[in-house]
Amino acid sequence: MFSTGFTFSTSFTWNDLLFLLQGAWVTLLLTFWSMLLGTFMGVSCGLLRALLPRATIPLGWFLDIFRSVPLLIQFVLFNSLKSIVGLDWSAFTVGCVVLGVYVAAFCTEIVRSGVLSVPQNLRLASRSLGMTYWQDLRYVVMPLATRVAFPGWLNLSLSAMKDTALVMWIGIIELLRASQAIVTRIQEPLLVLCIAGLIYYLISLVVSRLGAQVEKRWQQND
CATH number for the domain harbouring residue 96: 1.10.3720.10
Structural domain includes residue 189: yes
Please tell me whether residues 78 and 160 are part of one structural domain: yes
Please tell me whether residues 152 and 211 are part of one structural domain: no
Amino acid at site 145: A
More confident residue, 49 or 220: 49
Please tell me whether residues 189 and 116 are part of one structural domain: no
- Report DSSP state, residue 130: T
Structural domain includes residue 3: no
Please tell me whether residues 182 and 151 are part of one structural domain: no
> What domain range is 217 assigned to?
173-222
pTM of the model: 0.89
The pLDDT assigned to 1 comes to: 43
**Domain total of the chain:** 2
pLDDT in tens, 10-22: 888 899 999 999 9
The pLDDT assigned to 85 comes to: 86
Structural domain includes residue 11: no
The pLDDT assigned to 79 comes to: 86
Angle at 160 between CA 159 and CA 166, to 5 degrees: 105
Q: What is the crossing angle of helices 14-51 and 57-68, to 10°? A: 160
pLDDT in tens, 101-133: 999 999 999 999 999 998 888 888 887 888 888
Please tell me whether residues 45 and 113 are part of one structural domain: yes
pLDDT in tens, 169-179: 888 899 999 99
- Report DSSP state, residue 167: G
Structural domain includes residue 203: yes
